[in-house]
Structure 1
Amino acid sequence: MSDAPTRPLRFAAFVMNTTSHIQHGLWRHPDARQADFDDVTLWTDLAKTLERGKFDAMFFADVVGTYGPARGDYATNLREGLQIPSNDPSVLLSALAVSTEHLGLAFTSSVIQAHPFDFARKVSTLDHITRGRIGWNVVTSALDSAARNFGADRLEEHDERYAWAEEYLEVCAKLWEGSWDDGAVLKDPVRGYADPEKVHRIDHHGKRYDVQGPHLSAPSPQRTPVLFQAGSSPAGRAFAARNAEAQFILTSNRDATEQLIRETRDLAAAAGRRREDIAFFLGLTFVTGATEAEAKAKEAEIDEYLAADGFLVHSNLGFDPDTGEPLDPATPLSEVRTHAGQSHLQWLREAAGDREPTIADLARLSAKLRARVVGTPEQIADELAAWQRVGVDGVNVINWTLPGSYEEFVDHIAPTLQERGLMQSEYREGTLREKLFGHAQLPGSHPARRWRGAFSGGASGTGVTGGEDARDAVEVSA
């Protein structure tokens, strides 16, 4: 039986518009430029490099608070540049859009940080600018400090935040999918720019939001951006199964990865979707060399720059979530309480193996969790083929340095992967969704598609109301 892949793996560059995103301490490396993150040419040049290497997407993480206790000290964060300062990735995407032609551009935005009406308009604008290359990583925030930046004392209970995300996504979907019918834009000097009968209010009335509409942006090439999600808690996986088109995962071994993927696909099928509607992207780091010995020497050099205190703060687990007081380093992770980051805590415990890890192990385990693949390009290709066989669809490539990690990947690893059929050699035409999945817009199996045409008999530019009746009709017929 041939080991040749049936289709290439997908590759995304996992970055953040900050000095120290994941691999804390590496910004001090003499070849690193991530401390210049506020120089737009760093990012436009990197985007061009990724496109040259036929990466599928450039994916930006983001946070709207600081790691550690909400009212605690953040000296380590600043000393390490640990996601502070950081800039808004959605603004940066416009510059990257006009610097590239094919590269997908995905960004993180939490339901906590923007009203869905405003957010939906921003995304539609970006999707127009990029001609359909935008993705959105739907997050609920994992930092109490983020909640305090937006008027709350602390984060809401974990599962309730996912209920919030469901309504947030519903509002956005009504605007993206339902507010403007197909054919609404005419651009006809006689008939008008748009047909009033085909543009509708959505009249959403929910637990958190009341949104009248209509959507102020006409349908973009994708209408709805490609939907990414990263939570692997039970609530997060259920949300992903219902809504995500791609899920980012971090797991400690292939057996755990295969089980997570299989169970999430089961959940998707139970929610009425196709099992193949979700692609799974595994977070990995790479160190390569012409020989295995050279790669291991590079790895040893990298380890010299790792900042243990940065990893500890980033874990967001080394303190009591109520008092903010540091926990005893001997505290087992099984006794750690957290209002957020439950999937991260589970991944850390998996990475520890048979021994129950403690707070003192957090830095070491966090570094280990960013699973490394070290070796020659051929050895790396073998490793990626093994991950593909357990169900992984793509790789979220985590960098050590910018832009060096991606330059090395494009110049030395990608050619071998492309020769093996594990990475695309040319781009498919069309939107990001077409490139990834073969269709330009959401498939009919996605729940957000139920809003397409749902308001045609109700609120429109004529002033007639009845959006709620339209929604009820769709729900009854589903």
Structure 2
Amino acid sequence: MPSTDGVKKNNGFDYSTYKGYDENGELPAKRVKGNKKIILNAFVMFTPNHLNFGLWRHPEHSDYARNFAKMKPWQDLAKKLEAAKFHAVFVADHLGIYDIYKGGKDFEALEKKVQFPCHDPLFLVPTMASVTEHLNFGITVSTTYTPPFTLARQFSTLDHLTDGRVGWNIVTSNSDSAAHNFNLENQVAHDDRYKLADEYMDVVYKLWESSWGEGAVKKGLKTDTFDTSKINYIDHEGEHFKVKGPAVTLPSLQRTPVLFQAGMSSAGRSFAAKHAETVFVSAPSPQLVRQTVDALRAAAGDRQIFVVCTLLVIVKETQEEAERYYKELNAAGDKEGALVFCSQMFGADLTAFPPDLDLREGDNPQVARGVDLWASQTDTKDELWNVERVANEYTLSGRGGLALGDAESAADVIEDWVEIGDVDGFNLSHAAFPGTYDDIIKYLIPELQARGRFHKDYPEGEDTFRELLYDTPGDPYLRPNHYGHSFKA
């Protein structure tokens, strides 16, 4: 069990005032039974391997890995997820190659298929939307490398094509390898990326919410007509962007797509509190994720914010079968592939460190801080955290949570995360594609539905992503207390 030291005191907040703590400010060791219905998204990437390094060789994943660039595996997955009533598919992205490990000279990222090749996730939306009616799509696009006018046009177009089923995962991109593909020598500094992203949001809000006022499009019997007095130039001039407008797309069903964000730095958390409707978090235990959840909810104030956590579910008919299967998957994983990924994440080639060195004691402060954070979230922080340990920790679905067992025990873990961690749902990662989701659909979903934790059908009248998220049939727009709503014409 990961350590819970410091759960109450992190970031200066008094968490004892928040739901779920007892009179001493302590989290319960076991969940308190509740009835919150949860959000379930499939967490994927348009690449042979996402967070399951080496599993492209596994017989339950290899067919997808060979055919990931084709339409069929994605359309087949979309139909399965919709039949099981998943809320959405959440698609990650990366704009460069992982080239820090061994200097990238031998294209280890390609050899190991570490999120490479990686195709454009926007094109998955019409591919999957064409075979579904209710499944939603959260797509990752960077504010640092995509002009705001282009992004606003892309998402308005997708929102039209999907009848309002689109969300945007806002990222600022954090690798030099991506910067090198966009005419830069180095990535933009961390806090500067968020300053740029904050102005970026003003531009897209103006294009989505202000450029075409209500009533600008008049529906006729044979054709639409337009009230040009309600179509506006946005005339944005700021430190980073100058955009005249107006938007060249019709206002879509949601206008602004559902807004996701995942940055957990101080700047990222402030950005999420201002802009995000759903925040994506990751931690190895519900006790530890609660620190982040409480801080996010406090920063958002009265504004409702949804928190979804990454989780790997390995579920089979029996506990014993699930445990055997997990061991098989873990044995098939590629530790070196994990090191390719972690070297990029830490910004340092992990092969440069002696194999018996505890990385917390090395001379690279970024690596030392990162590994110290990992170790502090476990009950093994006093053990040796060397390069091998880092590889083992990250090989199968990264550093998120794990629900392992039969349907009942996996559902128990889900409820722990909901009641102790106060999360609203999960981005479910996979070990095998689509096998992990097949097992979740066969075993876990019926158990969650029997417990009243997951809906048995999509609610009537909640046809857009935002209506489903907020349970507001007939109202697909930003909430009145959202910052973006202030731009509404």
Say whether the fold is shared (TM-score over 0.5): yes
CA separation of 1:351/1:223 partners in 2, compared to 1, >3 Å: closer, same or farther? Answer: farther
Q: Residue 275 of structure 2 corresponds to which residue in structure 1? A: 243
Q: Residue 108 of structure 1 corresponds to which residue in structure 2? A: 140
Work out the CA distance in 2 between the residues paired with 1:94 and 1:318. 31
Work out the CA distance in 1 between the residues paired with 2:207 and 2:112. 41
CA RMSD of aligned residues (A): 2.5
Q: Residue 408 of structure 2 corresponds to which residue in structure 1? A: 378
Q: Residue 421 of structure 1 corresponds to which residue in structure 2? A: 452
Q: Residue 365 of structure 1 corresponds to which residue in structure 2? A: 393
Q: Is the 8 A contact 1:110 1:141 kept in 2?
A: yes
Q: Residue 448 of structure 1 corresponds to which residue in structure 2? A: 484
Q: Residue 314 of structure 1 corresponds to which residue in structure 2? A: 341
1:399 aligns with 2:426: no
Deviates more, 1:374-383 or 1:73-82: 73-82
Work out the CA distance in 2 between the residues paired with 1:159 and 1:242. 15
Q: Which residue of 10, 16, 28 maps to 2:57?
A: 28
1:39-58 matches, within 5 Å, as 39-58=70-89
Deviates more, 1:9-18 or 1:348-357: 348-357
Task: Give 1:235 shift.
Answer: 1.4
CA separation of 1:189/1:131 partners in 2, compared to 1, >3 Å: closer, same or farther? Answer: closer
Q: Is the 8 A contact 2:112 2:337 kept in 1?
A: yes
Work out the CA distance in 1 between the residues paired with 2:339 and 2:86. 31
* One-letter identity of the residue aligned with 1:423: F
Task: Give 1:254 shift.
Answer: 2.0
Work out the CA distance in 2 between the residues paired with 1:125 and 1:376. 42
Deviates more, 1:225-234 or 1:62-71: 62-71
* One-letter identity of the residue aligned with 1:46: L
1:77 aligns with 2:77: no
Task: Give 1:397 shift.
Answer: 0.4
Q: Residue 10 of structure 1 corresponds to which residue in structure 2? A: 39
CA separation of 1:349/1:25 partners in 2, compared to 1, >3 Å: closer, same or farther? Answer: farther
1:2-401 matches, within 5 Å, as 5-32=34-61, 33-35=63-65, 36-69=67-100, 72-73=104-105, 75-188=107-220, 193-269=225-301, 273-274=302-303, 277-316=304-343, 326-329=352-355, 330=357, 332-333=359-360, 336-338=364-366, 346-347=373-374, 350-351=377-378, 353-355=380-382, 357-367=385-395, 369-390=399-420, 391-401=422-432
Q: Percent identity?
A: 36
CA separation of 1:191/1:384 partners in 2, compared to 1, >3 Å: closer, same or farther? Answer: closer
TM-score, scaled to structure 2: 0.85
CA separation of 1:349/1:84 partners in 2, compared to 1, >3 Å: closer, same or farther? Answer: farther
Task: Give 1:156 shift.
Answer: 1.6
* One-letter identity of the residue aligned with 1:448: G
CA displacement 1:265-317 (0-9 Å, x = unmatched) = 11111xxx42xx21111111111122211111111111111100111111135
CA displacement 1:199-256 (0-9 Å, x = unmatched) = 1011111111100000111211111111111111111111111111111111122222
CA separation of 1:336/1:101 partners in 2, compared to 1, >3 Å: closer, same or farther? Answer: farther
Q: Is the 8 A contact 2:167 2:258 kept in 1?
A: yes
Q: Is the 8 A contact 1:250 1:347 kept in 2?
A: no
CA separation of 1:143/1:191 partners in 2, compared to 1, >3 Å: closer, same or farther? Answer: closer
Task: Give 1:119 shift.
Answer: 0.8
* One-letter identity of the residue aligned with 1:388: V
Task: Give 1:114 shift.
Answer: 1.3
Q: Residue 433 of structure 1 corresponds to which residue in structure 2? A: 466
Work out the CA distance in 1 between the residues paired with 2:438 and 2:218. 45
Work out the CA distance in 2 between the residues paired with 1:49 and 1:146. 33
CA separation of 1:320/1:258 partners in 2, compared to 1, >3 Å: closer, same or farther? Answer: closer
Task: Give 1:353 shift.
Answer: 4.3
Q: How many residue pairs were aligned? A: 445
Unaligned runs of 5+ in 2: 1-30
Q: Is the 8 A contact 1:76 1:309 kept in 2?
A: no
* One-letter identity of the residue aligned with 1:39: K
Q: Residue 28 of structure 2 corresponds to which residue in structure 1? A: none
* One-letter identity of the residue aligned with 1:28: R
Q: Is the 8 A contact 1:177 1:451 kept in 2?
A: yes
Q: Is the 8 A contact 2:33 2:419 kept in 1?
A: no
CA displacement 1:348-384 (0-9 Å, x = unmatched) = 6534742373444221222461322111101111111
Work out the CA distance in 2 between the residues paired with 1:72 and 1:233. 28
Q: Secondary structure at the match of 2:273?
A: helix
* One-letter identity of the residue aligned with 2:341: H
* One-letter identity of the residue aligned with 1:10: I
CA separation of 1:174/1:328 partners in 2, compared to 1, >3 Å: closer, same or farther? Answer: farther
CA displacement 1:297-352 (0-9 Å, x = unmatched) = 1111111111001111111358765x99834442524754459xx98984565347
Q: Is the 8 A contact 1:25 1:305 kept in 2?
A: yes
Work out the CA distance in 1 between the residues paired with 2:337 and 2:376. 19
TM-score, scaled to structure 1: 0.87
Q: Secondary structure at the match of 1:405?
A: helix
Task: Give 1:438 shift.
Answer: 2.4
Work out the CA distance in 1 between the residues paired with 2:286 and 2:176. 33
Work out the CA distance in 1 between the residues paired with 2:282 and 2:261. 12
Q: Is the 8 A contact 2:126 2:158 kept in 1?
A: yes
Q: Secondary structure at the match of 1:241?
A: helix
Work out the CA distance in 2 between the residues paired with 1:63 and 1:333. 28
Q: Is the 8 A contact 1:309 1:363 kept in 2?
A: yes
CA separation of 1:408/1:157 partners in 2, compared to 1, >3 Å: closer, same or farther? Answer: same
